[in-house]
Structures are given as C-alpha cells and as structure tokens.
Amino acid sequence: MKDTPEKKNDSTTKKTQPEQSTSASESSGVDETTSAKTDAKEATSSEKSAPVSKEPSVEPVSASNEPPTKPEMTPATQPTSSNWPGKVALVLSVAALGLSGYMYWSSEQSRTQIQLLSANLDSALASAKADSSERISGISQQLGQVQERTEQLRSLNTKTEQSIETLHGRLTQAVQQMNAQQQVSDKDWLLAEAEYLLRLANQRVLMENSASGALALLRSADKVLQEADDVSLYPIRQSLAADISALEGVPRLDVEGIYLRLSAMSQQTTQLRMSHPSDQRQLPNLLDDVTPDSLKESWGAGAKAALNKAMDKLDQLVVIQHRDAPIAPLLAPDQIYYLQQNLHLMFEQAQTAVLQRRQGAYEESLSKASTWIGDYFDTTEANAISLLRAIEELKTFQVAPELPSIATSLNALKEHMAEVRRLQREGGN
C-alpha cells in the first residue's frame, strides 16, 4: 500500500518533467542568457536539497515487447521526486550552453564574414579609389593637353587671322596695282593704235602720194586719241589738227573718174582708121574751098567772121601734122594689130600711174598714145579727134600733187609715248 503513492509521485514527476522542459525551452527561446542563468541556479539548489543515498539507484528497464510490469521497489532504491528538477535544469543548462555556444559561433562566423566582406569592400573601394584616381589623373592630364592644344589653336587662329588680314591687304593692293596697270595698258594700246595709224598716213603721203587716204588715216588717229581721254594728249591732237588742215588744202583728184575715162579711151582705139599718104594733100583743097567764100565778104567784120569760120572748120576737119622727121613707111596689117595693142598698153600704164600717183609715168603714157594716134591713124576722123582732145585734157591733171609733211603729229606722239614709258619704269623701280 505504501508503493502506490510513490508510483503516483513517479508518474506525476514524469508528467511534470516534459511540461517543465517545454516551459524551459519556451523560456529559453525568449531569453537564452537569462534562462541559462536561472537553470544553473535551480540546479545548484536542487542538488543541495536532495538527499544523498549511498546505494546505487537502479532504474527500471521496460521492454517494448513485454507488457509493463510493476517492479517491486525497495525503499532503498526508490527515487525521490526531488532529483527530477535538477536533471531537467541540467539538461536545460546544457542546452542553453550549447545554444549559447552555437549563437557565439554563429556570431563569430558572421563577424568573420562581415570582416571579410568589409576587407573585400575596403580593398575594392581602395582599388576603385586608385583606379578612379588614376583615371582622374589621366583625364586631368588629357584635359591639360586639351587646354594646351586649345591655347595653341587659339594662338594659331590669331596668327591665321593676322595672316589673312595681311594677305587681304596685299591682295587689295595687288588688285589696285593691277587695275592701275590695266588702265595704263588700255591707254598704251590706244596710243599704239594711234601711232600705227599715223605711220600709215605718212606712208601714204611719202610712198603713194595719196592725200585722201592719208587724210582718212589722220582722222581715225584723232578719234583714237579722243577715246583715250587724256589731257596730256592735247599737244598731239593740236599737231594732228594742223596736219589734217594741211591735207584738206590739197586739191582733190577724181582718181576713179580718170581711171574710168582712160578705160573708155582704151576701148575706143579699136574704132580708129589708119591714115593714107593722099590724106596729107587735102589741106590745099580745103584752103581753096574756104578762101573764095571769105573774100566775097567785106573787109572788117565780115573778114573776121569768115576767118573764124574757116578756123572752126579746120579744127573740126583737118589736123595739121608737122613732118620734120622722115616719113615712116606704112605698116603691114599684122603690125596694125600690135599697134592697137600698144595703145591699149599705154592707157593701162596711165591707169596704173594714176593709182600709184606717179605723175611722170602718167604723162609719158599719154604722150606716147597721142603720138601713135597722130602718126599712124587718120586724125581727121571724129574718134581720133575726140581721143586726142581727151588725152590733152587728161595731161593737165596733177595725179601726184605735192603734199605737205604730216610728220609733226607722229613725232609728237612718239615723244609722248617715250615719256610715259620712262615714268612707268621709274614707278616700277
């Protein structure tokens, strides 16, 4: 009967042990350090309060296959209810210590990892700082180079602008000089043209003896000098005006009219008839026919009128030829052809002399034509008479009149051009 309360106490102790462990674990979850200290104190107090038994305690072992039996407990071996709290406290203390060690180990591991991470972070930060410093140094160096290059470019730009301004000034000066030279060149060309025209005019006067051609050239030269619009050319134009006035005073010669008349006279020679020796003896008969009529008139005015009438008839019908030289024999028919061709040639020579202003050749050609007509052709014929009269009239023309000198204007222009060239050379030097 005594065993029953003990068993009840054991079962009660067993039931309270898990409850206490559960509560201890829950309290350890709340505060590990505080529970560990409390459990250690409880364990110490329980050990002091528990009775010490010298006999070893035997715990019952229950088999899983056998039904539980109620062991018989001796009073010496029966456990007391005061040992269970100590054991629980011990277990809880060990658990708390393990948990504290685990927590400490975990904290140390975390601290190590944190330190490692901090060291890695510091190393990375230092590397980044070094890299950034190096990059900043490189960028600063590049920026310094860029600034230096910018300054060089600014200096070069300033020098370039100065060079451009200098070149612009030189170009402007060169353009002005070219314009000035161009103006001088234009005047030089005009002066050269005027000089050429004056040379041609003097050539016409000296070589061709042509007043009209020289006059036209002088007027053209005066127009050229007028286009130059230079006050310094006034003396030259004054001399040129004097030369033009001198040529205008020369009598004009109708060269074309004389040339055409000579051409018509050359064609008229084909209508001339050869003369016969019997024609020379008609002069006494003509005088006999004219004299009786004139004698019937009274002396005084009648005689004078008859004489004039007779002279008119003689002029129209008879040409008196003086044969001081021996009479030439009559020409053969083939020689008559050559005579006519020679007459043509004489008139053509006279035409050429008119064009070339050769007075001597002109007069000589007309004289030969007149002589041949009088010697070999019938001078009583109307064609011969008109030819001889025309020849005598043409002889009176001065195909080569004496022309004045027009070298004054040319010499003045030459002197002016020489002075202009001298001034240009001095200006260039």
Express each pLDDT in 65-103 by its tens digit: 444 444 444 444 455 556 788 888 888 888 888 888 888
Q: So what's the pLDDT on residue 239? A: 92
Is the distance from CB of 224 to CB of 249 less than 8 angstroms?
no
Tokens 């950034």 appear where?
132
Higher pLDDT, 353 or 208: 353
Closest CA relative to residue 194, chosen from 423, 400, 420: 420
Average pLDDT, the chain: 73
Q: So what's the pLDDT on residue 334? A: 61
Closest CA relative to residue 317, chosen from 380, 274, 378, 390: 380
The pLDDT of 228-252, averaged and rounded, is 89
Q: So what's the pLDDT on residue 19? A: 42
State yes or no: pLDDT of 62 exceeds 90. no
Question: Minimum mean pLDDT among 28-37, 135-144, 305-314, 370-379: which range?
Answer: 28-37
Higher pLDDT, 311 or 407: 407
Q: Is the pTM of this model over 0.75?
A: no
Helix (H, G, I), strand (E, B) or coil at 331: coil
Q: How far apart (Å, rounded) are the C-alpha atoms in residues 344 and 309?
A: 36
Give first-to-last CA distance, the chain, whole Å: 161
Q: How far apart (Å, rounded) are the C-alpha atoms in residues 141 and 135?
A: 9
Q: Largest alpha-carbon pair distance within the chain?
A: 246
CA 277 to chain centre: 93
Q: So what's the pLDDT on residue 2? A: 39
Q: So what's the pLDDT on residue 218? A: 94
- Please give the helix or strand (H or E) that residue 14 lies within, else none: helix 3-30
**Residue 182: which pLDDT band, with cuts at 50, 70 and 90?**
low
Neighbouring residues of 270: CB distance < 8 A, sequence distance ≥ 6: 340
Helix and strand numbers (H, E) in the chain are 12, 0
Q: How far apart (Å, rounded) are the C-alpha atoms in residues 317 and 382?
A: 8
Domain residues of the chain, as ranges?
170-248+406-428, 254-274+330-400, 283-315
Q: How far apart (Å, rounded) are the C-alpha atoms in residues 229 and 164?
A: 38
φ, ψ of residue 33 in degrees (nearest 5): -65, -45
Distances (CA, A) of 380 to 324, 373, 390: 20, 11, 15
pLDDT in tens, 262-320: 999 988 888 888 875 444 334 344 334 434 443 344 445 555 666 666 666 555 555 55
Higher pLDDT, 327 or 402: 402
Is the distance from CB of 375 to CB of 343 less than 8 angstroms?
no
Helix (H, G, I), strand (E, B) or coil at 393: helix
Q: How far apart (Å, rounded) are the C-alpha atoms in residues 100 and 32?
A: 7
Is the distance from CB of 203 to CB of 422 less than 8 angstroms?
no
Q: How far apart (Å, rounded) are the C-alpha atoms in residues 372 and 350?
A: 15
Strand ranges in 140-278 using DSSP code E only, listed in sequence order: none
291-297: long-range pairs with CB below 8 Å, 24+: none
Q: So what's the pLDDT on residue 308? A: 65
Q: How far apart (Å, rounded) are the C-alpha atoms in residues 85 and 24?
A: 11
**68: number of Cβ within 10 Å:** 9
Give me the helices (H) in 229-278, please. Answer: 234-248, 255-268
Closest CA relative to residue 42, chosen from 87, 81, 12, 72: 87
Q: Which of 225-234, 344-353, 369-378 has the highest mean pLDDT?
A: 344-353
Q: How far apart (Å, rounded) are the C-alpha atoms in residues 81 and 51?
A: 11
Question: Minimum mean pLDDT among 289-298, 343-352, 403-412, 418-427: which range?
Answer: 289-298
Higher pLDDT, 397 or 41: 397
Q: What is the token pair recorded at 209?
A: 């003896």
State yes or no: pLDDT of 247 exceeds 60. yes
Q: How far apart (Å, rounded) are the C-alpha atoms in residues 1 and 203?
A: 188
Closest CA relative to residue 198, chosen from 415, 406, 401, 404: 406
Q: So what's the pLDDT on residue 35? A: 46
Q: Tell me which architecture the domain covering 170-248+406-428 has in CATH.
A: Up-down Bundle (1.20)
Amino acid found at 209: N
Higher pLDDT, 298 or 345: 345
Q: What is the token pair recorded at 218?
A: 């002088």
Q: What is the token pair recorded at 86?
A: 């100590």
337: exposed, middle or buried (C-beta count within 10 Å: 0-12, 13-18, 19+)?
Answer: exposed
Amino acid found at 363: E
Is the distance from CB of 188 to CB of 225 less than 8 angstroms?
no
Radius of gyration of the chain (CA): 82
Residues written for the chain: 429
Q: How far apart (Å, rounded) are the C-alpha atoms in residues 372 and 384?
A: 11
